[in-house]
Amino acid sequence: MTAFKSDFLNILSERGFIHQCSDFEGLDALAARGEAIAYVGYDCTAPSLHIGNYLTMMMLHWLQASGNKPITLMGGGTTMVGDPSGKDESRAIRSIAEIEANKASIRGVFSKVLRYGAGPTDAIMLDNAEWLTKLNWIEMLRDVGRHFSVNRMLTMDSVRLRLEREQEMSFIEFNYMVCQAYDFVELARRTGCRLQMGGSDQWGNIVNGVDLGRRMGTPPLFALTTPLLTTASGAKMGKTAQGAVWLNADQFSPYDFWQYWRNVEDADVVKFLKLFTVLPMAEIEKLGALKGSEINEAKKALATEATALLHGREAANTAAETARQTFEEGAIAETLPTVEISSGELEAGAGVLTLFVKAGLVASNGEARRQIKGGGLRVNDTAVTDEKMVLTRSSLTPEGVIKLSMGKKKHVLLKPA
């Protein structure tokens, strides 16, 4: 496992980050000298990044930890174009205002795992809108466009798959790869950046940049990608009932984040410990040796460590403690998600259906009815059998709340206000 000279590649390799690399030897030598300046681009397609992006953020983290310099590139410009990779249909073209808003909302998350500053290994943040929006069409065609073979572009997965499925692909999307390739060259010139990393679906785009660099006279550039994140049962990772697993706390609370990791499949625990925590390998091996139900201890470690890294140690411990009280003691943890209801409403008596809807556990009265029929709803840990049940002050627990649950995992406290 220690085939590399550089700490950077050794760490990535033993933790399972590496899928493909354009030139291991060259990159290894560069990183061993602490001269690897590397970037990952993040498109501003949503107000928050998700755990798929987290993987590449962790690569930047290890890059920095091993004495090299990371660059986070906001795709302010490329998002205006839209990446066709892995998409069956054209992405809706986003408004400039939306992109700007997303950009502002995303950028804060990087400082959780990277140290920014002006030092030699401090991270820097750039935005490709800075140069892409200023390009001149004809100049661009003459300087950059002539290096692109349309024949080859047509064979790239992102394009070929679309064509094979007879799905339309517009010219603007066709140019996404040109923009991304140009970014790499621009960064190489501006900052001495030599390496671009990304998900395996970005391989084609990244390699294009490597080629373009050679033709346009930059020093040799390198490409490095991560494997596609899947769960042991083969599903794409990061999707839950609520949607994606977002990194921003206001879209996916630390408690939910903790729960997400706590509920991963057994077979994934070690893999995720390596990818999503900074626990030492020896520690991970110890956790990985656990068998049967002891694996739950490893899952708790995974949940707490991953949450601590992103949301801070305190939030992680709170989430862990909330879970412990709720699941292991069956007690009511004050820190569970809470919804306020007016005391007047409670005084008059409120129907269970309405309350479950209000708590956000079900989407409609109808769904509440169905869940009651299936035995899925509980009030203060007692199954609801009568959909006409009315809750009043007398339903309050000694703690002064009403605990509503759907299934075994979702709980909300109602608090009179």
Q: Does 69 sit near RNA (CB under 7 A)?
A: no
Residue 127 touching RNA (CB under 7 A): no
Please report whether residue 61 would count as binding RNA according to CB under 7 A: no
Contact 169, 90 (CB under 8 A): yes
What is the Rg, in whole angstroms, of the alpha carbon atoms belonging to the chain?
Answer: 25
Do the beta carbons of residue 189 and residue 219 sit within 8 Å? no
Tell me, residue by residue from 304 to 343, as one string, x for binding to RNA by CB under 7 A and - for no binding.
Answer: -------------------xx-xxx---------------
Buried (b) or exposed (e) across 108-146, using 16+ Cβ within 10 A? Answer: ebbeebbeeeeeebebbbbbbbebbeebeeeeeeeebee
Out of 375, 381, 385, 399, the only residue in the binding site for RNA (CB under 7 A) is 375
**C-alpha of 395 from chain center:** 40
Length of the chain counted residue by residue:
417
Does the protein bind RNA through residue 224 (CB under 7 A)? no
Number of residues that bind RNA (CB under 7 A): 43
CA distance 275 to 58: 7
The residue type found at 165 is: R
CB 128 within 8 A of CB 73: yes
* Contact between 410 and RNA per CB under 7 A: yes
Residue 364 within binding range of RNA, rule CB under 7 A: yes
Q: Which is nearer to RNA, 146 or 291 (CB)?
A: 291
Which of residues 61, 299, 311, 403 is near RNA by CB under 7 A? 299
264 touches RNA (CB under 7 A): yes
Q: Is 388 in the site for RNA (CB under 7 A)?
A: yes
Instruction: Return phi, psi of residue 97, to 5°.
Output: -60, -40
DSSP 8-class letter at 115: -
Token readout for 4 is: 């590399």
User: Considering the rule CB under 7 A, would residue 374 count as an interface residue with RNA?
Assistant: yes
Q: Identify which of residues 219 and 375 has a Cβ nearer to RNA in the complex.
A: 375
* Residues facing residue 382 across a β-bridge: 379
Asked if 236 interacts with RNA (CB under 7 A), we say no
- Binding test (CB under 7 A) with RNA, winner from 2, 136, 151, 293: 293
Query: Going by C-beta distance under 8 Å and a sequence separation of 6 or more, which residues neighbour residue 71?
Result: 37, 38, 39, 40, 123, 124, 125, 126, 187, 191, 193
Cβ(91)–Cβ(44) under 8 Å?
no
Contact status: 219 vs RNA (CB under 7 A):
no
The smaller minimum CB distance to RNA, of residues 263 and 343, is found at: 263
Task: Tell whether residue 411 is a contact of RNA (CB under 7 A).
Answer: no
271 binds RNA (CB under 7 A): no
Least Å from the CB of residue 54 to RNA: 20
Q: Among 346, 376, 404, 411, which residue sits at the site for RNA (rule: CB under 7 A)?
A: 376
CA dist., res. 229 & res. 235, Å (int): 9
Q: Smallest gap, in angstroms, from Cβ of residue 46 to RNA?
A: 16
Cα separation, 163 vs 161, in Å, equals 5
Q: Which stretch binds RNA (CB under 7 A): 46-54, 68-76, 289-297, 306-314?
A: 289-297
Tell me: does residue 51 bind RNA (CB under 7 A).
no
29-58 as b/e: b if 16+ CB within 10 A:
ebbbeeebbbbbbbbbbbbbbbbbbbbbbb
Half-sphere exposure of 129 (CA within 13 A, CB side): 15
- Within residues 164-193, the interface with RNA by CB under 7 A covers 166-168
Is residue 360 within 8 A of residue 404, CB to CB? The reply is no
Q: Which stretch binds RNA (CB under 7 A): 91-99, 178-186, 294-302, 341-349?
A: 294-302
In the complex, the smallest distance separating the C-beta of residue 85 from RNA, rounded to whole angstroms, is: 18
Binding site for RNA (CB under 7 A): 166-168, 233, 235, 240-241, 259, 262-266, 292-293, 295-296, 299, 323-324, 326-328, 353, 363-367, 369-371, 373-376, 387-388, 406-410
